[in-house]
Structures are given as structure tokens and as C-alpha cells.
Structure 1
Amino acid sequence: MVRIFPAADAAADPLLRRARALLAGNGGSYATAWPEVLYEDDWCLVLSKPAGLPVHGSGAPPGHGSGGISGAPAGARREGFAPAAAGKRRVGAGDAALAPATLDEAAACLCLAAGDPLLVRHVHRLDDDTSGPVLYTKNDLAQQVLDAAMRDKTIGRIYWAAVQGVPRPSSGVINADIGRDRHHPSRRRVSPGGDHAVTRYQVLDAWGKAALVELELETGRTHQIRVHMSHAGHPLIGDALYGGSTQLLQRQALHGRRLEFRHPWSGLAIAVDCPLPTDMAQLLQHLSGSRG
């Protein structure tokens, strides 16, 4: 018979080896300061990714530049709301070497701490400085089913973003192809020869010079929301790469608010909400106080 949940060799797999070392340094348990579990069962897992923590890295060990903020140790992030207490905090407790350097490592730690040495794999990704829910699978069958759902665009991803100015009309669809910017290796741009990209938006609240916008992706291009909103004349607050001001926030004000998918085994509809991180909640409070 085919085993649906085969155990992985924790000594042979690099990700599980790093996760095992992290757990050993934390007394064998998953630290409360590590990424929050939003949903979990035997088949899949949803973790809340904080801004500044990459989903996956280069394979380097924690604390050795495996995808963290440039110039900062892996596992560190910036609390970006300027009017509040700006500074840095660790994703995990204690030294950066004892905190997961990627969300993948956190997912592996969670399974190992529960006595399940499974090769958990992410179904989708978020930009390093975007917060929100990330979906993981715990076996090959779940991975195949949810990968197919991503291709068929049946996994719903809803985001909240604070943008400069107020979009008009207050709701609509941005249908503009996205390609690489040949003048900047990290940037993308709206380009007639690019990949098909569609974003739906709706203004939830407005404050004269800024607005809170809910966005839903129909496609999943790199930097899609950031590129589309900048192209529409409303760059995200804090998004210096695409023309946003960093006066109030030191990272793009973009948060994955909800993830919707069908369970890979039961087919039941699942919706997972992700609370706003502290820096974005403070930003929205500040903007609301400046209304009028």
C-alpha cells in the first residue's frame, strides 16, 4: 500500500536538520514568538508570515544570510511604523541564530515539535516584506491537489493595502500585463509584452491623502499588487521601490488578510483570516486620526 504520510529522514534533509537544531536550542518546543499557526490539520497548515521573514531561502544555515533583510541578520525584521517606536525585533526569542530564518524552517519546526518529521512545502509565496497567511501541505497528495488549485485560480487571496491618494472609481479591475524592468533588476513594470495580470480592488476607507484598499488576485505575478497600484497612480505607503513614501512606514503597507481554499482531502471550503500586524494597525490608526 502507498503511504500517504511517509516520514522524512530528519538527518538527511537540510531543512529538517536546521529545524531540529532550532528546536534543540529552544528546549524541543515551538516558541510562542515564532510565526503563528492560523490553521492546521493532518493535511495542511497555514502560518502567519511576519514582514521581514522570507518564505524560503538559499539553503544557508540560520543567521548566515539565508534570505533576510539586506544588511540584517536572518530572522530579524524592522518594525516599520515611523511615528511609533521604530526599531528592530526578532522573529523568534533570543539570538537570531535561535529563530527560524525562513517561514519554511518555522513550518518544519512545527512538525518536528509535534513528532511528525514531514516534508512540509509551501503552495504559494509572499514578498519578504509582505505579511500574511501562507499555505503549506504535509504530503504529496495534498501538494498535487493544492498546486492544481493554484493553477486553476481557485485559491482565493485577499489583501489589504494602504495606498497614497484615493483610487477613483472606488472599485474596479486593473488588467495590465507585467514584465521585468530592464533598467532595474529588482523591479517589475506594466509592459504590453509581459505576463497577463489581473487585480480587483475596492476602497474600504479613505482619509484624503491615503486609502485602505482591499485587493484580490486573479493571477499571481511577482510584485503584482505593488506594480498595479503604482501604475494606477497610487503606490503603496512605504514601498520605495515603486514610488511610495517611507515617511510613515519602512516597508510596503501590504498584508494578506484572508486565504480561501478547498481542503485537499474533504473538499470542504476553508477560509483563514490573518490579523493585521502591529505596524500596519498603527499606521491605519494614525491615518484615521488625520481624517479631514
Structure 2
Amino acid sequence: MNNQPILWEYRLQAEDSGQKYLSILLHKFHFSLKVLQHLKQGERVWVNGRFTYLTARGKEGELLSIQLFFDEEANIPGEDLPLDLLYEDEYILAVNKPVGQVVHPNHRYLTNTLGNAVIGYWERQGEHRLYRPIHRIDRNTSGVVVIAKNQFAHQQLAWQLERGQLHKRYYGFVQGVVRKKEGTIDNPIGLAPDSFIKRKVQPNGQPARTHFRVLHRYPNATFLEFILETGRTHQIRAHCEGLGHPLLGDDLYGGDPMLINRQALHSSVYAFLHPATGLPIVIRAPFPEDLRVLMKKLKFDIL
């Protein structure tokens, strides 16, 4: 899937007549100003097969064509690492991140990250791109991570994320028996005092909403489904601690590591609208083996 010009097309409707192409792209399709600036460089905008300017005004029935071509130098080094692909097209890449892998390089993890793996994969395909993950999950959380393959896709998905149109579903095992069948945790989260890592429910934190549903109750634990309305750092982990039901294995937040040596949390489903077609996309990551083993242990009340 080498870098080739990507053509985005739209047939103007009656309500578009008299509008500048710039205005249509900006307000109707939420193109960012940064992307529009790129479109001004070279002949990248056509109407009915002829070059035009973004400031020209459109007419009903015209075919507006945009060349989205982003051949970019990688911003991190690529490495030949395993990569569990869930979905890929010209705009997005979705992977199943394993436990123990960091999503993006940082001062503590310079290599062996998901970013290094993705760039290495693209380089082997002859592609030159920046690494643009739409969201991050913790090093010891497994599951779906979605990466934009160009600036346009990243901007479109970021716009959906800001407006709550990206839907993320997690599965996790918490300590103790959660009595409510379902509910919403609406507690702000901020950095815990005397910590650079841990988050804590506190009044002056950022707004955070987590919806949960009980899937199964064990004698001393509960299997839950989580749906995030916001995406704060460690949101599920901090909210579970605040409820008095920390995730199993999550020793940073008071979870018991006896049965599993990582937080028992999996990013299972990621649903959004495709950045180019607008059609629904649902990405699912299979349930990991270590959580299947945990499920069997809980059945026999080993806690």
C-alpha cells in the first residue's frame, strides 16, 4: 500500500451553490485550517476535472475533487517488531497492542514501542508517514489502538474525538462485588499529590465520565464493561479506585496482583465514522489469553 495520491470527492448539493469551496470544506466537512493550507500548495483542488482555487464559489452538481497526498518523513525510528493488524486502508491503521508495550516513545521508552513497530511496518511497505495515534492506552492495557495514516485522517478523527463521536469500549475485572447492575461514574480526575504518574478523583480535576455495566459477578470480583465518554489519563483505573473496586492486578491503584501481574483491562471495541466516507467503522480486538486464564481462576474463587 505505497503512498499514492488519495482523491477525496464530493458532488455539490443545492445548499452549496454560491458557497466558497473553502467554506464548504471548512464548515460542512470540518477540514482543519492546517489541512486547507496544504491544499493551497500546488494544484490539489479540482472542479469537474479542472484546477480551481479554494476561494472560488461552487454550483450544484459540480464534482469537487481534493488530492490528499502526504509523503512525510517519519518522526520516530522504525523497527522490525511484531504487529497485530486489525484493519488498514489508505486512511487508517488499527492494531491490537500487546501488554507491556508503550504506544509512543518517551524518555523512559525510546525503542520497542508501538510507534517504532508501526513506522517499521510502513517503511517495509515503502511508505513514508508520520506516526499519529488517535488515542493512547496504558503500557499494561491491551487492545485496540487506531492510527491515522495522514494529516487529513488525523484531523477528522480528532474532531470526532473532541465531540464524543468516537466510542471506546473496555472490559475489565475489579476487586469485590459491584452491586449496581450499571451506572455512570461522573467524577473529575487530576494528578495525585506527590506523584508524576498516578491520577486521583478530586474536585479540581478535569471532568471525566465512565459508564459501566456488570457482565458477571464472581464471589470476590466483578467482570465489567466500560464505555468512556471522556478520555482522561488512567480514567478507568482512577474511577475504579474511587469506587473502592480497583482493577485486579493494578497495584498502582490498590489492585491485588496475586492473580495477574498487570491491570486486568482490555480495550475491546473502537467505533467511529470513516474519515473519508463517513460510514461507520467498528474495530474489535480479541480477548487476550491472560484475561481468559484470569476468568477461569475467578470461577474457582482463588482470591
TMscore range, shorter length? 0.7 to 0.9
> Residue 100 of structure 2 aligns with which residue?
52
User: How many matched pairs?
Assistant: 239
Per-residue displacement from partner, 1:144-181 (whole Å, max 9, x unpaired)? 10011111111100000010012121210001011111
> Residue 83 of structure 1 aligns with which residue?
none
Over 4 Å off, 4+ runs = none
The aligned runs of 1:1-292 (5 Å cut-off) are 1-2=43-44, 3-9=67-73, 13-15=74-76, 18-19=77-78, 22-23=79-80, 34-58=82-106, 65-66=108-109, 101-290=112-301
Q: Percent identity?
A: 36
TM-score (norm 2): 0.75
Q: Which amino acid aligns with 1:131?
A: S
Check 1:244–1:291 CA distance in 2 against 1; reply closer, same or farther (3 A cut): closer
- Cα distance in 1, alignment partners of residues 146 and 260 from structure 2: 27
- Three-state SS of the structure 1 residue aligned to 2:123 is helix
Q: Shift of residue 289 of structure 1?
A: 3.5
Q: Shift of residue 288 of structure 1?
A: 2.3
Q: Which amino acid aligns with 1:8?
A: E
> Residue 24 of structure 2 aligns with which residue?
none
TM-score (norm 1): 0.78
- Cα distance in 2, alignment partners of residues 58 and 191 from structure 1: 27
- Cα distance in 2, alignment partners of residues 218 and 208 from structure 1: 29
Bigger radius of gyration, 1 or 2? 2
- Cα distance in 2, alignment partners of residues 211 and 267 from structure 1: 37
Unaligned runs of 5+ in 2: 1-42, 45-66
Per-residue displacement from partner, 1:80-133 (whole Å, max 9, x unpaired)? xxxxxxxxxxxxxxxxxxxxx111111112222222222231010001111111
Greater RCO (Cα-Cα under 8 Å, separation 6 or more): 1
- Cα distance in 1, alignment partners of residues 69 and 144 from structure 2: 24
- Cα distance in 1, alignment partners of residues 277 and 296 from structure 2: 40
- Three-state SS of the structure 1 residue aligned to 2:258 is coil
Q: Shift of residue 6 of structure 1?
A: 2.4
Query: Cα RMSD over matched residues?
Result: 1.8
Q: Tell whether the 8 Å contact from 1:207 to 1:291 is kept in structure 2 after alignment.
A: no
- Three-state SS of the structure 2 residue aligned to 1:250 is coil
Per-residue displacement from partner, 1:41-92 (whole Å, max 9, x unpaired)? 0100101111110001127xxxxx525xxxxxx5xxxxxxxxxxxxxxxxxx
- Cα distance in 2, alignment partners of residues 190 and 14 from structure 1: 35
Unaligned runs of 5+ in 1: 24-30, 60-64, 68-73, 75-100
Per-residue displacement from partner, 1:271-290 (whole Å, max 9, x unpaired)? 11101222111111221243
- Cα distance in 2, alignment partners of residues 185 and 118 from structure 1: 32
Q: Which amino acid aligns with 2:103?
A: V
Q: Tell whether the 8 Å contact from 2:178 to 2:217 is kept in structure 1 after alignment.
A: no
Check 1:146–1:233 CA distance in 2 against 1; reply closer, same or farther (3 A cut): same
- Three-state SS of the structure 2 residue aligned to 1:247 is coil
Q: Tell whether the 8 Å contact from 2:75 to 2:130 is kept in structure 1 after alignment.
A: no
Q: Tell whether the 8 Å contact from 2:91 to 2:148 is kept in structure 1 after alignment.
A: yes
